[in-house]
Amino acid sequence: METRYAICYSVNIPLRSEPADGAEMMTELIFGDACVVLEETGTWSRIINKTDGYEGWLTTKMLTFVSKEEYDSYNPADAPVVTSSFALAFDKGSDEKIILTGGSVLPYFEHTYNSFSVENRRFVIDPSCLASRGNDIVGTACQYLNSPYLWGGKNVMGIDCSGLTQVVYRIHGVQLQRDARAQVVHGRQVFLSDALPGDLAFFANSQGRITHVGIIIGNGKIIHASGSVHIDTIDERGIYSERLRKYTHSLHSVRHIDFHK
């Protein structure tokens, strides 16, 4: 099979464990992600995400194919990022609009007109949706409060624990790996007592396997996606749910990651 290259111009594309609609959704491509097609079978393609190296299956017709030259020259990490949890962009020549979610990247962006290119059409976006959030990682995470938990989700309408941390850090210029057990290699370990707002806290099961991640917000609190995105108490033992009146996650480690936005 000839290698093919593509960009995601959908608000999100489910990435599944097998080439079937009923297969587990492991993650999503979101608008502006690029990928290489590794394998095709029927209406399905197995791809690898250019940014985080995640592999999975998606419906081929949801991709927009580009040349190798275009793929090679396009680096999502260099493109402007949607910093609000939700945004709309409008075609300059019609009333057509594109829905965008936090962490979406905008290819071939022109700052003069706040516009980006999709298949030779230009869409305009409100620049406030791209405004730098500085070092306010906690504020960015709080945009997702009450979003429902969705295994594999990466947007405000459904998100999982490591999807939340990956998208929030992407908005602040840091590309994390997709899963909690892979994110734990980033940054440097710190004591919980020395943790700063925005640091990542990781949690393990009884076998010591990392299964959960959240964002420290200070004053003994953490924001994380579990059932929904919400705030709980954290201490050296782990996450304590006031609502459930019990510990729900056992603390493994805390990591500090530098960011540049």
Q: Which structural domains are found in the chain, ordered by start?
A: 4-73 (2.30.30.40), 83-130 (no CATH), 137-256 (3.90.1720.10)
Tokens 């020395």 -> residue: 194
CA pair distance 123, 93, nearest whole angstrom = 9
Q: Which residues fall within 8 angstroms of residue 57, CB to CB, at 6 or more apart? A: 15, 16, 17, 18, 19, 20, 23, 44, 45, 46, 47
Tokens 């609190």 -> residue: 221
Which helix (H) or strand (E) covers residue 167, if one does?
helix 161-171
Give the Cβ contact number of residue 13 at 10 Å: 22
Is residue 82 within 8 Å of residue 129, measured between CB atoms?
yes
Q: What's the pLDDT score for residue 55?
A: 98
Q: What is the mean pLDDT of residues 167-192?
A: 96
pLDDT at 83 over 60: yes
Q: What's the pLDDT score for residue 120?
A: 85
Band (pLDDT 50/70/90 cuts) for residue 261 is: very low
Q: What's the pLDDT score for residue 260?
A: 53
pLDDT at 173 over 60: yes
Q: What's the pLDDT score for residue 95?
A: 81
pLDDT at 111 over 50: yes
Is residue 114 within 8 Å of residue 122, measured between CB atoms?
no
Q: What's the pLDDT score for residue 77?
A: 87
Tokens 């097998």 -> residue: 18
Q: What's the pLDDT score for residue 57?
A: 98
pLDDT at 73 over 80: yes
Question: In angstroms, what is the C-alpha Rg of the chain?
Answer: 19
Q: What is the mean pLDDT of residues 203-219?
A: 97
Band (pLDDT 50/70/90 cuts) for residue 177 is: very high
pLDDT at 27 over 80: yes
